[in-house]
Structure 1
């Protein structure tokens, strides 16, 4: 079993107050964030997503928006899940609750996301070319079609987390 609380094992992405977005690396330059000359920026489009997840076109691909609230978020590849830290006394306590939370979650309806390969998770306000360093997490995904579902779970009296699970349903 992976021990997530070890230093450097898990990288968290923070938001300045808006949604996070997972953009395929192949189309990062096409994500303008809050910048842009259009009436509605890419960031504005991401903010319009209603609910915990949504899809937005970016270039010739689609990005996954993690909406609902601006919670610190990480990706756990062995669980295939984005974990959103809503409440918890420690990282260790929160991450230790993930396997049980995934098993007992009441999932929202699924959406289907076609992914060409690795994605970057970052604050949707940032332009894709500027998301770097601690402002992002690279998520290595196999190209293909994924079923994406979300849930909000309270696995302990003082632990709340959001889950966004990715399941590969059709490899490319």
Structure 2
């Protein structure tokens, strides 16, 4: 069975955590994330849902971010679905990605998560890592146009071979009241 770490020739970038949650933050503010060298990681670990909101940085200039909590599953971003995909199990990366794409539109039990206003490019990384020491290989770009987005989470399974978790990032209607 192929895992993300073994997929060295894969065009899809995967990241993994050391066992804790991931965090998604505006790239220009990533260096402010303290990880385990401050309170940010502890705050991220307090998120009990699939996805939660966290604020970090100096008290006068708090920056919002998103914590992808629960299981520390390898993750990638699928721009065509505008969602994060986490690998539970699959015989190959391609089987998992194909399964996610086939399952996406048929999922009707999405769990609603937090809202994030996006003004800058976003990156995702292991919440333990202080942002000022991040290396490119440890980050995943989450490309979204400027706007307000709500996170929605659902698990999917295809037979006994493929399972994953999707975190859809859906734009909010600017005219919604």
TM-score interval, normalised by the smaller of the two chains: 0.7 to 0.9
Segments of structure 2 that go 5 or more residues without pairing to the other structure are 1-6
- RMSD (Å) for aligned C-alpha atoms: 1.8
The residue correspondences of 1:75-94 to structure 2 (distance < 5 A) are: 75-94=77-96
Asked if structure 1 preserves the Cα contact closer than 8 Å seen for 2:50 and 2:153, the reply is yes
Asked if structure 2 preserves the Cα contact closer than 8 Å seen for 1:88 and 1:159, the reply is yes
* CA deviation profile, 1:11-49 (whole Å, cap 9, x unmatched): 00100000011111121122100002xxxx211111110
Q: Which residue of 1 aligns with 2:165?
A: 162
The residue correspondences of 1:94-133 to structure 2 (distance < 5 A) are: 94-105=96-107, 106-133=109-136
The residue correspondences of 1:132-147 to structure 2 (distance < 5 A) are: 132-147=135-150
What TM-score do the two structures reach when normalised by structure 1? 0.88
Q: Which residue of 2 aligns with 1:27?
A: 29
CA distance in 1, matches of 2:159, 2:118: 34
CA distance in 2, matches of 1:45, 1:84: 22
Compute the displacement of 1:8 (Å).
4.1
Is the aligned partner of 1:148 residue 2:146?
no
Asked if structure 2 preserves the Cα contact closer than 8 Å seen for 1:144 and 1:170, the reply is no
- How many equivalent pairs are there? 163
Q: Which moved more, 1:24-33 or 1:66-75?
A: 24-33
CA distance in 2, matches of 1:33, 1:146: 24
Moved over 3 A (4+): 5-8
Segments of structure 1 that go 5 or more residues without pairing to the other structure are none
* CA deviation profile, 1:69-128 (whole Å, cap 9, x unmatched): 000000011110100001111101001111222112221124211112211110000011
